[in-house]
């Protein structure tokens, strides 16, 4: 998959990339949508509610660490 330059993504443990959106509300929705795929066994080996919670935390942690990359894209 080709990624446009400057595009920041977070990577789920299933290998899927989720595009980082600067809007926290939209980003939260994108994560929920992806975690939902796991809960419905549409992604990965399927997972329990506990594992889904863990997946979500991992994704959110990546949003926080990568979020700063977006912030540094202002031209100086
Ligand atoms: Zn996944």
CA 57 to each of CA 2, 15, 23, 37, 61: distance values in angstroms, whole numbers, following the listed order: 27, 16, 18, 16, 6
| 41 occurs within a structural domain | yes
Given the structure tokens 């330059």, which residue do they identify?
5
Q: Is 3 left (phi over 0), alpha (psi -120 to 50) or beta?
A: beta
**Å from CA of 7 to ligand 1 middle:** 19
pLDDT at position 27: 94
**Å from CA of 76 to ligand 1 middle:** 36
pLDDT at position 32: 96
pLDDT at position 22: 84
| 18 occurs within a structural domain | yes
Find the domain containing 32 and state its range: 11-68
Q: How many domains does the chain have?
A: 1
Could you tell me the pTM of the whole model?
Answer: 0.77
| pLDDT per residue rounded down to tens, the chain (76 residues) | 565 567 889 999 999 999 998 888 999 999 999 999 999 989 877 789 999 999 999 999 999 998 766 555 544 5
| 47 occurs within a structural domain | yes
**Å from CA of 35 to ligand 1 middle:** 7
pLDDT at position 72: 54
The tokens for 74 are: 């202002």
The tokens for 39 are: 């809960």
């Amino acid at each position: 998959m080709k990624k446009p330059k400057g595009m920041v993504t977070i990577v789920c443990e299933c290998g899927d990339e989720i595009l980082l959106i600067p809007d926290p509300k939209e980003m939260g929705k994108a994560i929920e949508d992806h975690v939902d795929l796991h809960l419905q066994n549409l992604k990965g080996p399927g997972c329990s509610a506990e594992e889904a919670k863990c997946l979500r935390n991992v994704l959110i942690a990546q949003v926080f660490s990568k979020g700063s990359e977006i912030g540094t894209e202002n031209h100086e």
